[in-house]
Amino acid sequence: MVEPAHLSLHVPEPAVRPGGEPDFSNVKIAKAGAVPRPPVDAAAEDIRDLAYSIIRVLNRDGEAVGPWAGLLTDDELRNGLRHMMTLRAFDARMLMAQRQGKTSFYMQHLGEEAVSCAFRKALQKGDMNFPTYRQAGLLIADDYPMVEMMNQIFSNEADPLRGRQLPIMYSSREHGFFTISGNLATQYVQAVGWAMASAIKNDSRIAAAWIGDGSTAESDFHSALVFASTYRAPVVLNVVNNQWAISTFQGIARGGSGTFAARGLGFGIPALRVDGNDYLAVYAVACWAAERARRNLGPTLVEYVTYRVGAHSTSDDPSAYRPKTESEAWPLGDPVLRLKKHLIVRGAWSEERHVQAEAEIMDEVITAQRKAEEHGTLHAGGKPSVRDIFEGVYAEMPPHLRRQRQQAGY
Amino acid sequence: MARMTMIEAVRSAMDVSMERDDDVVVFGEDVGYFGGVFRCTQGLQAKYGKTRCFDTPINESGIVGAAIGMAAYGLKPCVEIQFADYMYPAYDQLTQEAARIRYRSNGDFTCPIVVRMPTGGGIFGGQTHSQSPEALFTHVCGLKVVVPSNPYDAKGLLTAAIADPDPVIFLEPKRLYNGPFDGHHDRPVTPWSRHDLGEVPEGYYTIPIGKADIRREGSAVTVVTYGTMVHVALAAAEETGIDAEVIDLRSLMPLDLDTIVKSVAKTGRCVVVHEATLTSGFGGEIAALVQEHCFYHLEAPVMRVAGWDTPYPHAQEWDYFPGPARVGRALIDVMEA
């Protein structure tokens, strides 16, 4: 063995940079239907392989195959397609609204619609999500009014958060959607605490934690896993691996770990890896993990393998750090097109109905936007009151805030 | 009424709160079976069971983060950080999350948690068992900050903190756990059993958060202080013979400005005393407020006695801790100014 003359630091790099040919040849993708479906009480060490493979249901021909298939009816699938298409249309309109100056900021879900839309359907009323800023599908799939979402994005007079929050940082207890924070990963361990509380009270409700690939590097990711493992909290720990954290490829956060799912194994948490662009697979895996939690069998870590097709946010230009055509080369395709194809193969959908649905959905989104804009946009029309700056810091306004509110003229 | 140390008073506060409200849960490092490194939770797990009082992994961010999630569910967690010096890993959860959840969600979610932390020096604790980080909390909008100076207040303020609908940082001066301490480290410490404020009701009572208490009425100078320094200030007043009015703030946020202003308007002089380091310490806020609200009553500059702007040393404990001699010197100086 040759002794090295000196040490050198390893800094991972993505396979390809702008100007290069997109290359996902090293992304190992299991065949649809190939990964077994273990019993929900399986021990983490007995299903290690699932943390390194990819659970998939839809094959290239759009057929649902294998042990994870067969959970959804035609109606449920059409509904799921509609939710994903709605989120996509919503994103498109809000992106445009940001470019028109109606709001300061927006973040799209392009390519990741299946993850949050399908997951929501595996939860029950009363369960609580602790989402990041890229799971608005949880709201859409639970029929939260789009007008309310837009009121928040426009920070207008009807904004349920009174103009205090950056656009898209929604909150809805009623819809099981915990208030979003700008601080990454903080909600991951809060979800575990919520689940622990439900267990302390011998309740039947469960929690779902959400994090992106990049944020798994935050210390709260570790905190959440150790707490979830220690107390066997009824929580589904979701990692959405969309390959990118702003400009940083997932290899920087993942390091030498084979997969993000594999991180769960060290904590004794059963870990699954799933095709995040396969609505049926996401739903099936989410149901498996939710059932584990509900049966008091403890936490599950789920990695959703997907691709962030859009820019990180309206303040980002991805062409500066990755090839422009990379999303087209992404081997797991587009979640909307894949479910559409499956429904057509099933004989439950058609090209004509799809085109018609697209038009209807865009119409609904535009109608909602029109209603929201009646209450104002960021720089025009109705605004939240200056008084609202001072309310809600505490349950009761302390004297120093009352003095400051008076100074502000209210 | 019973005689209690501050440790027993704090424990009694959790006991009566857990008894009264099934949603109160207590957890932290070594808090469960063992009853806490300072014995503050002794017996609670045996009495209320493992799901109401339990040990946690050594992970401050996890402790506070989990508490926030539980509060969102509807529980009322009262958690412990073993030493205030070790709160920093939880600072993100406390400042960006706990403090803001009500505001950012417009009341859709709230965060009724209490975070207990033993604080302060005077125990040869060195750099990481002596800090007084209260200014790092008073600067955070949405947090309440409480520092008791005796068993009676400790119990009443802690029961109030647990019942409070907002997050409360509850700093317990560990130097006062077993008895009052006036800075005379060369004298034997008197136990709380020989102090009036060691008389504590056994049942449930509260002391309102946001109300100061005047520990010594006086006419010459107002001393604004809290925690261990209350006892130091009282000693300094006796030893210098200066008729100081000693205000024990008890709550730093919300602050009882009225009591301070009324006192300074009467005395015309003000000395602010705390253990924490001077620069950007909470004393700076008090001094600014006194200047704004009492300018025309002031007969001397507002003075501050605080820890030096250095990390808390070990060997030089009594040259760092602002003892009665340094506080007394400030009282004489402000009278002569």
Give the model's confidence band at A267: pLDDT under 50 very low, under 70 low, under 90 confident, else very high.
Answer: very high
Task: Give residue A256's pLDDT.
Answer: 87
Give the model's confidence band at A166: pLDDT under 50 very low, under 70 low, under 90 confident, else very high.
Answer: very high
Q: Is the dihedral of CA A124, A126, A132, A136 positive or negative?
A: positive
- What is the mean predicted confidence (pLDDT) over A336-340? 98
Measured between alpha carbons, how far is A349 from A402 in angstroms, rounded to an integer? 59
Q: Which two structure tokens, joined as six digits, stand for B166?
A: 């907002």
Beta bridge partners of B248: B213, B225
Measured between alpha carbons, how far is A68 from A288 in angstroms, rounded to an integer? 9
pLDDT above 70 covers a percentage of chain A that reads 100
Measured between alpha carbons, how far is A137 from A363 in angstroms, rounded to an integer? 18
Task: Give residue A257's pLDDT.
Answer: 86
Whole-number CA gyration radius for chain B: 19
Comparing A337 with A5, the larger pLDDT belongs to A337
Task: Give residue A264's pLDDT.
Answer: 98
pLDDT in tens, B107-165: 999 999 999 999 999 999 999 999 999 999 999 999 999 999 999 999 999 999 999 99
pLDDT above 90 covers a percentage of chain B that reads 99
> Does residue A4 register a pLDDT over 80?
no
Name A62's Cβ contacts closer than 8 Å, sequence gap at least 6. Answer: A338, A341, A342, A344, A345
Instruction: For chains A and B, count residue pairs whose Cβ atoms are closer than 8 Å.
Output: 145
The phi, psi pair for B78, rounded to 5°, reads: -120, 100
Mean pLDDT of chain B: 98
Give the model's confidence band at A1: pLDDT under 50 very low, under 70 low, under 90 confident, else very high.
Answer: low
- What is the mean predicted confidence (pLDDT) over A296-313? 98
Name B92's Cβ contacts closer than 8 Å, sequence gap at least 6. Answer: A183, A186, A220, B61
CB contact under 8 A, B142 and A394: yes
Name B18's Cβ contacts closer than 8 Å, sequence gap at least 6. Answer: B24, B25, B26, B44, B47, B48, B52, B53
Mapped onto helix, strand or coil, the DSSP state of residue A274 is strand
Instruction: Tell me the whole-structure pTM to 2 decimals.
Output: 0.98
Q: Are A192 and B69 in contact (CB under 8 A)?
A: yes
The phi, psi pair for A245, rounded to 5°, reads: -115, 95
Chain B nearest CA to A72, separation (Å):
31
Which residues in chain A (156-175) have CB-CB distances under 8 A to chain B? 160-162, 164-165, 169, 171-173
In which order are the strands placed within the sheet that holds B213-216? B213-216, B244-248, B221-225, B270-277, B303-307
- What is the mean predicted confidence (pLDDT) over A361-379? 98
pLDDT in tens, A51-72: 999 999 999 999 999 999 999 9
Q: Which two structure tokens, joined as six digits, stand for B8?
A: 């027993």
> Does residue B307 register a pLDDT over 80?
yes
Q: What is the ipTM of this complex?
A: 0.97
* CA distances in angstroms from A375 to A91, A110, A150, listed in the order given: 20, 27, 10
Cβ contacts of B69 on chain A, cutoff 8 Å: 130, 189-197, 207
> Does residue B5 register a pLDDT over 70?
yes
- What is the mean predicted confidence (pLDDT) over B204-220? 98
pLDDT above 70 covers a percentage of chain B that reads 100
Task: Give residue A198's pLDDT.
Answer: 98
Q: What is the DSSP code (8-state) at residue B58?
A: S
Task: Give residue A28's pLDDT.
Answer: 87
Q: In chain B, whose CA is at the least distance from the CA of A129? A: B69
Task: Give residue A26's pLDDT.
Answer: 81
Mapped onto helix, strand or coil, the DSSP state of residue A156 is coil
- What is the mean predicted confidence (pLDDT) over A68-80? 98
* CA distances in angstroms from B111 to A45, A81, B130, listed in the order given: 37, 37, 28
Q: In chain A, whose CA is at the least distance from the CA of B110? A: A395
pLDDT in tens, B248-277: 999 999 999 999 999 999 999 999 999 999
CB contact, 8 Å: A181 with chain B?
A: yes
pLDDT in tens, A118-146: 999 999 999 999 999 999 999 999 999 99
pLDDT above 90 covers a percentage of chain A that reads 96
Q: B129 catalytic, yes or no?
A: yes
Angle between helices B324-336 and B228-240 (to 10 degrees): 60
- What is the mean predicted confidence (pLDDT) over B186-204? 95
Give the model's confidence band at A3: pLDDT under 50 very low, under 70 low, under 90 confident, else very high.
Answer: confident
Q: Which two structure tokens, joined as six digits, stand for A332?
A: 């797991």
pLDDT in tens, A5-59: 899 999 999 999 999 999 898 888 999 999 999 999 999 999 999 999 999 999 9
CB contact under 8 A, B96 and A182: yes
